[in-house]
Structure 1
Amino acid sequence: MAHLLSALAISPPDSSPSTSQYSLSIFQRFENPNIFASNSMIRCLAKSQTPQNSFLLYKSMHQNVYCQPNNYTFPFVLQACSKLLGTREGPQIHNHVVKLGFTKDVYIKNSLINFYSVCGQIQSSRQVFDENPQCSDIVTWNAILASYARDKQLDIAEQLFGEMPEKDVISWSTLIVGYVQGGKLEKGLDCFREMKVKGLIPNEAIFVTVLSASAQMGLLEHGKLVHSTMKTSNCRMTVPLRTALIDMYAKCGCIEMSRQLFDEMRQRDVWSWNVMICGLATHGLGKEALELFERFTKEGRRPVNVTFVGVLNACGRAGLVNEGRQYFKLMTEVYGIEPEMEHYGCIVDLLGRAGFVEEALQLVENMTIQPDPVLWGTLLGACKVHGQVELGEKLGRKLIEMDPKHDGHYVLLANIYAKARKWEDVVRVRRLMVDRGNNKIAGWSLIEAQGEVHRFIVGDREHKHSLEIYKMLNVIDRRLAEAGYSPDVSPVLHDIGKEEKENAIRVHSERLAIAFGLLVTQVGDCIRIVKNLRVCEDCHLVCKMISKIFEQEIIVRDGSRFHHFKVGNCSCHDYW
């Protein structure tokens, strides 16, 4: 009977209620259960959907003089504490560990570190780690490393990593995941390359994480390196891994490769479909995204919230207004999905871009949830595009009152005034922004070349090839002028002379990145740029002209979408 109970206790972590209930029914037949049976039952309950029941059994053990907890009991009980975030029960269990003299047991120590870490009690976690330093193994080090990585104290995590007497794949995985989740994407990728040099084979968590980092930064060469490593290490291509690859290629501008990988998948989950739909939408392939959605539903799959974010975004990027209205209605009335802020953001953006600003305003005012500043900002952006100064002024004041620290609201309102040539109002808004301690977010552009990531800001002269870049910029300017280019200086918010405005706009970060790209790529190669802000109207025109004059494709991922510039045209059809 005890052997059967032990076998049931080693069931998967997602043990069904029936499994744990069956185990419990066997256990309850024991008149005097021994410690082995009790520990097995605690383990089974800790893994079940009712881990709190393991506490009751643990408590009954204390009342039975013939079956007192031993060193095998505590890791199981602490597992239940971690699962439940039992901040009251865990410290009590810790006290029992101390009283019974089990503080030098490495398995209990590791369980305590993990418990305090999961509960966000980093100091307690460190205290357990520092006690009895001779009683530690690689799991102990990994547990404390995970504590600091989870708490985003990456400097301490990095220091601990350097002090580790030995490291395994889990150690590297913890640090890499910590870097990426903590926003230090480049460090995460550097750490991955260092791990590769040391000959270690990454696990699935590492691959998914570094693919995500490559995708977020738009670094295709990094993403290709990860893909190549996956192939050479004979990594098993699971659905999450293939989905991460599809996402990476889509976000790095290779939508064809993304689609090819998707079509080759034998098995897909809802996230695979979502990633592909959203990828097509971001590249402006609205009709293709909607066709894929229709195929998705015909296969009997049920869309989730994110699916409709992709669908509505696809409508917005392609200007499919009627389709967007229909899908918004389908989401709520057929699938019963309550619109969230992101859904409202997509439909408001769709209507606003298409000129239905009043309809978008009415939708926002009648929302079932309280609109956030981002949504009002989307509407304000529509006012800028369509020159609705009066409504834009009203919304701009409202936004600045709601979120006075957000510089984007000031900039949008100033843009609206600048477009209407109301320079006094531009100066007033900019002065208000400065007085409140807000500075405009600096625009930057990235380009991956010669095995490095090169970052440029407006007017940048810090690059080691700055002299050659500005010479190339002069060549570009000359050939643009020969082709009939006339600068659109409306994005320049300062009331200065036309020549000064032209000089200001010619050194925007994406132009410097493209000039560098022309220096380091061969004719016919694609130049790929990642920009943190939305590309301005003049730079958009310039990119189209450069793609034709220099016969090179340029792909720009800006803060809004992808732009594929080829032979003087853009994939967005000037609708962005």
Structure 2
Amino acid sequence: MVAAKSLLLSAALSVHQTKQAHAHLIVSGFTANTQLMAHLLCSLALSTSSSPTSFHYSLSLYHSITFPTVFATNNMIRCFSNCPSPRHSLLLFSSMLRTSSYVKPNNHTFTFLLQTCSLASALAEGAQVHSHALKLGFADYVFVRNALIHFYCSCSRIECSKRVFDENAHCRDIVTWNSMLAAFVRDGQIGNARKVFDEMPERDVISWSTVISGYVQNGQLEQGLECFKEMRDKGMRLNEATLVSVLSASAQMGLLEQGRLVHSLVQSLNFPLTVSLGTALIDMYAKCGCIEQSRHLFQNMPRRDIWTWNVMICGLASHGLAKEALELFQRLINDGLCPANVTFIGVLGACSRAGLVTEGRYYFSLMTNKYGIEPEMEHYGCMVDLLGRAGFVDEAADMIEKMTVPPDPILWATLLGACKMHGSIKLGEKIGNKLIQLDPTHDGHYVQLASIYAKAKKWEDVVRVRRLMAERNTNKAAGWSLIEAQGKVHKFVAGDREHERSQEIYKMLETIVTRIAEAGYSPNVSSVLHDIGEEEKENAIKEHSERLAMAFGLLVTGDGDCIRIVKNLRVCEDCHEVSKMISKVFGREIIVRDGSRFHHFKEGKCSCLDYW
């Protein structure tokens, strides 16, 4: 009977099931059995419930044991770990030390105590636990050392984690290495993380997943994808975390083929479409220009959370599908979900890209008045962009001035762009000079101000601003464009001649110029900042990075294939017009993701309706 009960209690039980088992023990007269009562505590410790009721129930169980064993006490400490404070665990540990006549701590005691301190980021308390582990001779147990590395990492004391890691090179297992690897990744020390990874005597899927996510989280996307390729080449088993990280990298770089590869792996390996994985796939397809695929996945997901809805709303917004984004927001509300601050970034962004001023004002008010969400910089950014591009430049400036928090320079820079668009020279000059004072090293502010002067043909002021920019050692950020073709990512910058097929690309450029000129194209050189001849200006703009990428795309893709390009900066007016002309003359669909939104060029028209 006892053996059967022990087997029952060794299984993972919910709190309700544990109470049923407890009731059965009471009826059967086994409540005096310390081992069985300790197993009940173990079940409660492993339960995900952290309600006050389950906590008090655990404590009453523990107090019902006349002479608690170290196993029972350790599991009570684990139950305490669900509390926001480590105080209870430490008090129980202190009691163990005082009543050492019948129970003494063991290595598991310190593992659980450190876990509790890690969850609470309780540095001082954890350091005391560390000192007791040293004093009682448990600090060299590998599980305790692993817990110490994780604890110091949780408290952002990476140097302490490294010291514990280095103390005994012979007392390490793969968890030790993975813990140190994760500590460096969490602290953004990807170089040191890679060093640890390279030195590991053996690696498992967690090792690979950690270093890949580290690259992706630190913006080293290409290295993350290369590491993923290496992982697959070695035949390593994949896990969900790895796939989500690679999907994130693919999404940020706009690499559709890479993203499709991961999707095919998900299907071939029969991974369940969890919320995390499904949301990552939706995000990837949206950011790679396949918004219809995102919609299909969203509609067929077995379960969604608020982040799934947010990704879909933001995806629709980035493609200029404002009506659909706002309808989806209403569905979210109708389903009883509470929107988050990110939700409204998507909604306001949708209004901004479509010029829906009235709707934008409504949703901004709804966010603050009904849902009590304090506007953050991103929300103000959407509103300033919406109002500024729609011509309400003064209202946008007034909104910035009335903010309760100091405005981010990006807000003023957004408004400066609106001043350039609408020819508000006086306000633009004021904002431009203000930005240069706020951040004299940021090249973009000088460029925007110079652009305003250039549009007004005030060349002396253009020269003055450019000279000031040079004196302060700032340079305009280089624009680049990516295109994925023939299994590789090809990157171009303006005037680029480094590509192995450069001669063919420039020959195709000449063909493009000739054919679109025959179709009625006339260059718009207003974005060129220099007081130079018209012919020189035309030569400057025709070698912009996206045009080189398009020329390469026409060379390497089949007739009628879609050309997909990712650009880091906002597309200029002339390149936008050229893209429309190319789509018509060459009969191609061209999808460009610039720094602001998606442009779907087809049959001489753009999805943005020339409003971007």
Q: TM-score range by the shorter chain?
A: over 0.9
**Residue 411 of structure 1, CA deviation:** 0.9
Task: Tell me the residue number matched to 1:106.
Answer: 142
CA contact (8 A) 2:41 2:61 kept: yes
SS at match of 1:210: helix
Task: Tell me the residue number matched to 2:69.
Answer: 34
**Residue 175 of structure 1, CA deviation:** 0.6
CA contact (8 A) 1:82 1:114 kept: yes
- Write the mapping of 1:262-277 to structure 2, written as runs, cut at 5 A: 262-277=298-313
Task: Please give the alpha-carbon distance, in whole angstroms, between the structure 2 residues aligned to 1:375 and 1:301.
Answer: 30
**Residue 34 of structure 1, CA deviation:** 2.9
Task: Please give the alpha-carbon distance, in whole angstroms, between the structure 1 residues aligned to 2:218 and 2:376.
Answer: 26
**Residue 494 of structure 1, CA deviation:** 1.1
Pick aligned residue for 1:528 from 546, 564, 574: 564
Query: Which structure is larger by alpha-carbon Rg, 1 or 2?
Result: 2
Pick aligned residue for 2:329 from 276, 280, 293: 293
CA contact (8 A) 1:472 1:519 kept: yes
CA contact (8 A) 1:16 1:49 kept: no
Give yes or no for the alignment of 1:472 onto 2:508.
yes
Task: Tell me the residue number matched to 1:486.
Answer: 522
SS at match of 1:331: helix
Task: Please give the alpha-carbon distance, in whole angstroms, between the structure 1 residues aligned to 2:542 and 2:469.
Answer: 25
Task: Please give the alpha-carbon distance, in whole angstroms, between the structure 2 residues aligned to 1:567 and 1:268.
Answer: 37
Pick aligned residue for 1:503 from 529, 539, 542: 539
Give yes or no for the alignment of 1:249 onto 2:285.
yes
Task: Please give the alpha-carbon distance, in whole angstroms, between the structure 2 residues aligned to 1:93 and 1:352.
Answer: 57
Aligned Cα root-mean-square deviation (Å): 1.4
Give yes or no for the alignment of 1:54 onto 2:60.
no
CA contact (8 A) 2:273 2:301 kept: no
Name which of structure 1's ranges 369-378 and 63-72 shifts more when overlaid on structure 2. Answer: 63-72
- Give the 4+ runs in structure 1 shifted more than 4 A: none
Give yes or no for the alignment of 1:185 onto 2:242.
no
Give yes or no for the alignment of 1:24 onto 2:63.
no
Identity %: 66
Per-residue CA deviation, residues 256-286 of structure 1 (Å, 9 max, x unaligned), is 1111111112322111111111111100111
Task: Please give the alpha-carbon distance, in whole angstroms, between the structure 2 residues aligned to 1:48 and 1:200.
Answer: 38
Equivalenced residue count is 575
Pick aligned residue for 2:154 from 111, 118, 140: 118
SS at match of 1:361: helix
Per-residue CA deviation, residues 424-463 of structure 1 (Å, 9 max, x unaligned), is 1111111111111111110000000000000001110111
Task: Tell me the residue number matched to 2:414.
Answer: 378
SS at match of 1:564: strand
Task: Please give the alpha-carbon distance, in whole angstroms, between the structure 2 residues aligned to 1:492 and 1:52.
Answer: 65
Per-residue CA deviation, residues 289-314 of structure 1 (Å, 9 max, x unaligned), is 11111222122222111111111111
SS at match of 2:81: helix
SS at match of 2:492: strand
**Residue 4 of structure 1, CA deviation:** 2.1
SS at match of 1:47: coil
CA contact (8 A) 2:483 2:490 kept: yes
SS at match of 1:440: coil
Task: Please give the alpha-carbon distance, in whole angstroms, between the structure 2 residues aligned to 1:346 and 1:544.
Answer: 27
Give yes or no for the alignment of 1:230 onto 2:266.
yes
CA contact (8 A) 2:85 2:120 kept: no
Per-residue CA deviation, residues 96-129 of structure 1 (Å, 9 max, x unaligned), is 2222122331111111111122222222212211
**Residue 31 of structure 1, CA deviation:** 4.9
Unaligned runs of 5+ in 1: none
What amino acid does structure 1 have at the position aligned with 2:247?
L
Task: Tell me the residue number matched to 2:32.
Answer: none
What amino acid does structure 2 have at the position aligned with 1:182?
N
Name which of structure 1's ranges 146-155 and 563-572 shifts more when overlaid on structure 2. Answer: 146-155
Pick aligned residue for 1:544 from 580, 586, 590: 580
Per-residue CA deviation, residues 11-48 of structure 1 (Å, 9 max, x unaligned), is 22x52232222111222344543322211111111233
Task: Please give the alpha-carbon distance, in whole angstroms, between the structure 2 residues aligned to 1:125 and 1:478.
Answer: 64
What amino acid does structure 1 have at the position aligned with 2:179?
A
Name which of structure 1's ranges 263-272 and 43-52 shifts more when overlaid on structure 2. Answer: 43-52
**Residue 368 of structure 1, CA deviation:** 2.7
Give yes or no for the alignment of 1:517 onto 2:553.
yes
CA contact (8 A) 1:321 1:354 kept: yes
Per-residue CA deviation, residues 188-240 of structure 1 (Å, 9 max, x unaligned), is 11111222222223211111111111111111011001101111111111012
Task: Please give the alpha-carbon distance, in whole angstroms, between the structure 1 residues aligned to 2:369 and 2:218.
Answer: 39
- Write the mapping of 1:273-352 to structure 2, written as runs, cut at 5 A: 273-352=309-388
**Residue 57 of structure 1, CA deviation:** 1.2
CA contact (8 A) 1:17 1:49 kept: no
TM-score (norm 2): 0.92
- Write the mapping of 1:316-465 to structure 2, written as runs, cut at 5 A: 316-465=352-501
What amino acid does structure 1 have at the position aligned with 2:593?
R
Task: Please give the alpha-carbon distance, in whole angstroms, between the structure 2 residues aligned to 1:30 and 1:302.
Answer: 45
Task: Tell me the residue number matched to 1:148.
Answer: 184
Task: Tell me the residue number matched to 2:167.
Answer: 131
TM-score (norm 1): 0.97
CA contact (8 A) 2:152 2:160 kept: yes
Task: Please give the alpha-carbon distance, in whole angstroms, between the structure 2 residues aligned to 1:200 and 1:541.
Answer: 47
CA contact (8 A) 1:15 1:49 kept: no
Task: Please give the alpha-carbon distance, in whole angstroms, between the structure 2 residues aligned to 1:118 and 1:33.
Answer: 31
Task: Please give the alpha-carbon distance, in whole angstroms, between the structure 2 residues aligned to 1:348 and 1:217.
Answer: 27
CA contact (8 A) 1:46 1:52 kept: no
